[in-house]
């Protein structure tokens, strides 16, 4: 209890001293009384000021300075303009997830503790850290496994990250609870919900066995695919805090010049990247959802080697079918068919006019096809489609939103390799092959619509709509939690705990007051 109060004061002080309140006030004015509260806690400290920077830069800087909890909070809020507004969300996109590394000595201690001294003895060499972010850092290692020496990479969680993060978040959550109770206007910011959701998402990310399992599944799914090599996980050297996998000896996909000098066919690489992403999504229903340039490498033969399997997306069969049919429908410019799919699936309220809906679809499809080929983007098209379906009262399933966001990233990376990549030409064969495979080889592709009718009628629970609170599903969108495992219970639990904490505090306070009366 006292620890909790102490943590609350600590976080209040941290927030006050960081200057973040003033920065936020600059962007969006805050209640005076709230500013006053934070001013009390910043007494006797000199706030960091940097007048030359823009408000966005200052915001990111102060979050980065406050460490992991706030970096994660900022990254999370950057994806939620619905809560904090487009303006702040955009500013937060530039947040850097970098922190000073901890020492190799410390890393060795953690390793020995986690994998046991017997396995630890097989580690012949451990490099200095090669990358350090807010949750973990990566080292290279040489390990003797079955009498052969292997070059591996080891990702290690920051020491005590779990408890430090949860302590800070619990304190923040209590603070949010107090603020929501005192400043009713802040209720719409859903502060407690946001924090409890972040806590759950990040706690999954802080268990590297989940990342290992995701990598293994992706490796299994793609083992026969040409052009991609997913590193293997070494489970004997993996635990909650440690992830050991093949060391990738390849060039960053960002380094186009180097790839050119190695005679890698960039056009083909760009095509591969898009096709492999589509195969993961449509064929396997399990996709890497963090495909930015920093997580992708390319070897001399032009194979793509991904790392960082912390965020994955999962699409059930219905979603995969929906996605393939929609994309294919747009490729064919068959808007009535695309509309039909939405109606069949019950995604659009039945009383909507099918013609109006098809017309709205045409309004996003046609201008896109009028553009020069290199400007057509599947991700943007899906983004616009979801915008339209929302206008027609259909709520987009969050897994599909995650897919759409990743698709935009993948296309961006592909275009940097080859600006003339034609997303549609490249996507078509993957979609056709998959649709043929689920229909049986004898059927023709243009009968797909019939198939969707059968399939959709047999399986009535097509894309689960987002629940109004939106919170639990965001997590599922991150590909991290099973839909059935979550019913917002955690959030309710958190609220209950906060109420108890407040009540306990009131009791302690009254106890002190009564004590003072008795004594004097
Ligand atoms: N298996 C690997 N082989 C070589 N380098 C790796 C490997 N795994 C990670 N790295 C390097 O470490 C960096 C950080 O690893 P990553 O898993 O992306 O962690 P984070 O979640 O912190 O982004 C990568 O961008 C890459 O440069
Ligand atoms: Mg990474």
User: Which of 98, 102, 126, 131 has most ligand 1 atoms within 8 Å of its beta carbon, as the pocket-test mutant?
Assistant: 131
Q: What is the number of the ligand closest to the CA of 205?
A: 1
CA 440 / ligand 1 centre spacing (Å): 40
CA 99 / ligand 1 centre spacing (Å): 14
Encode 464-512 in three state secondary structure: CCCCCCCHHHHHHHCCCCCHHHCCCHHHHHHHHHHHHHHHHHHHHHHHH
Q: Which residues line ligand 1 (CB under 6 A)?
A: 130-131, 133, 136, 138, 153, 155, 231, 245-248, 294-295, 307-308, 310
Report the mean per-residue pLDDT for the chain: 83
According to CATH, the topology of domain 98-247 is Phosphorylase Kinase; domain 1 (3.30.200)
DSSP 353-382: -HHHHHHHHHHHHHHHHHS-GGG--HHHHH
Q: What is the number of the ligand closest to the CA of 154?
A: 1
Distances from the Cα of 288 to the Cαs of 169, 222, 305, 317, in angstroms? 27, 12, 12, 17
CA 138 / ligand 1 centre spacing (Å): 6
CB neighbour list of residue 213: distance below 8 Å, 6 or more residues apart: none
Q: Which of 54-58, 181-185, 491-495 has the highest mean pLDDT?
A: 54-58
Residue nearest to ligand 1 atom 21, measured at CA:
308
User: Which has more confidence, 32 or 415?
Assistant: 415
Instruction: Report pLDDT for 51.
Output: 62
Q: What is the number of the ligand closest to the CA of 306?
A: 1
User: Which of 71, 139, 140, 155 has most ligand 1 atoms within 8 Å of its beta carbon, as the pocket-test mutant?
Assistant: 155
Residue nearest to ligand 1 atom 18, measured at CA:
308
User: Which of 134, 138, 251, 294 has most ligand 1 atoms within 8 Å of its beta carbon, as the pocket-test mutant?
Assistant: 138
For the chain, the domains span 1-96, 98-247, 312-482, 488-520
User: Which has more confidence, 319 or 106?
Assistant: 106
| DSSP annotation of 185 | G
Could you give phi then psi for residue 38, rounded to 5 degrees?
Answer: -70, -30
Active site residues: 290
Q: CA-to-CA distance for 340 and 285, rounded, in angstroms?
A: 23
| pTM, 2 dp | 0.79
Structure confidence by residue, pLDDT tens digits, 49-60: 666 778 888 889
At 45, the pLDDT band (50, 70, 90 cuts) reads low
- What the block records as the tokens of 459 is 């399986």
**Order of strands, sheet of 251-252, starting from the edge strand that comes earlier in the sequence:** 251-252, 296-298, 304-306
CA 137 / ligand 1 centre spacing (Å): 8
CA 410 / ligand 1 centre spacing (Å): 18
Structure confidence by residue, pLDDT tens digits, 346-389: 778 878 888 998 999 998 888 776 665 566 688 888 888 888 88
């Amino acid at each position: 209890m006292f620890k909790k109060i102490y943590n609350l004061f600590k976080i209040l002080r941290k927030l006050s001293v960081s200057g973040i309140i003033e920065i936020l006030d600059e962007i969006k004015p805050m209640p005076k009384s709230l500013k006053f509260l934070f001013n009390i806690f910043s007494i006797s400290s000199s706030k960091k000021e940097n007048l030359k920077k823009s408000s966005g830069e200052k915001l990111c800087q102060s979050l980065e300075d406050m460490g992991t909890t706030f970096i994660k909070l900022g990254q999370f809020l950057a994806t939620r303009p619905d809560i904090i507004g487009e303006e702040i969300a955009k500013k937060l996109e530039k947040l850097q997830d970098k922190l000073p590394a901890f020492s190799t000595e410390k890393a060795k201690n953690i390793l020995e503790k986690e994998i046991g001294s017997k396995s630890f003895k097989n580690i012949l060499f451990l490099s200095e850290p090669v990358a350090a972010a807010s949750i973990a850092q990566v080292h290279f290692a040489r390990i003797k496994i079955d009498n052969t020496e292997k070059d591996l990479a080891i990702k290690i969680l920051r020491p005590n990250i779990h408890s430090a993060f949860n302590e800070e978040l619990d304190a923040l959550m209590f603070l949010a609870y107090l603020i929501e109770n005192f400043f009713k206007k802040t209720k719409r910011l859903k502060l407690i919900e946001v924090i409890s959701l972040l806590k759950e998402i990040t706690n999954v990310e802080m268990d590297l066995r989940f990342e290992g399992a995701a990598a293994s599944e992706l490796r299994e799914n793609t083992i026969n695919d040409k052009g991609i090599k997913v590193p293997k996980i070494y489970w004997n050297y993996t635990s909650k805090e440690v992830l050991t996998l093949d060391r990738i000896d390849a060039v960053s996909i960002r380094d186009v010049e180097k790839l050119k000098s190695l005679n890698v066919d960039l056009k083909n690489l760009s095509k591969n990247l898009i096709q492999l992403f589509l195969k993961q999504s449509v064929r396997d229903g399990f996709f890497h959802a963090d495909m930015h340039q920093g997580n992708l490498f390319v070897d001399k033969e032009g194979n793509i080697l991904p790392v960082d399997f912390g965020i994955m997306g999962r699409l059930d069969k219905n979603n995969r079918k929906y996605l393939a049919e929609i994309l294919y429908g747009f490729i064919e410019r068959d808007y009535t068919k695309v509309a039909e799919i939405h109606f069949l699936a019950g995604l659009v309220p039945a009383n909507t006019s099918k013609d109006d809906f098809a017309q709205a679809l045409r309004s996003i499809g046609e201008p896109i096809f009028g553009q020069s080929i290199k400007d057509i983007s599947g991700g943007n098209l899906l983004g616009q489609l979801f915008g339209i379906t929302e206008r027609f009262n259909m709520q987009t399933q969050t897994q599909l939103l995650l897919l759409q966001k990743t698709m935009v990233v993948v296309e961006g990376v592909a275009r940097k390799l080859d600006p003339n990549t034609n997303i549609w030409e490249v996507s078509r064969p993957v979609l056709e092959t998959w649709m043929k495979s689920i229909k049986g080889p004898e059927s023709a592709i243009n009968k797909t619509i019939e198939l969707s009718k059968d399939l959709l009628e047999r399986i009535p629970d097509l894309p689960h709509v987002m629940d109004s609170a939106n919170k639990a599903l965001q997590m599922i969108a991150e590909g991290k939690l099973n839909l059935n495992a979550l019913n917002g219970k955690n959030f309710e639990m958190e609220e209950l705990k906060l109420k108890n904490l407040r009540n306990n505090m009131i009791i302690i306070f009254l106890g002190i007051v009564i004590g003072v009366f008795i004594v004097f």
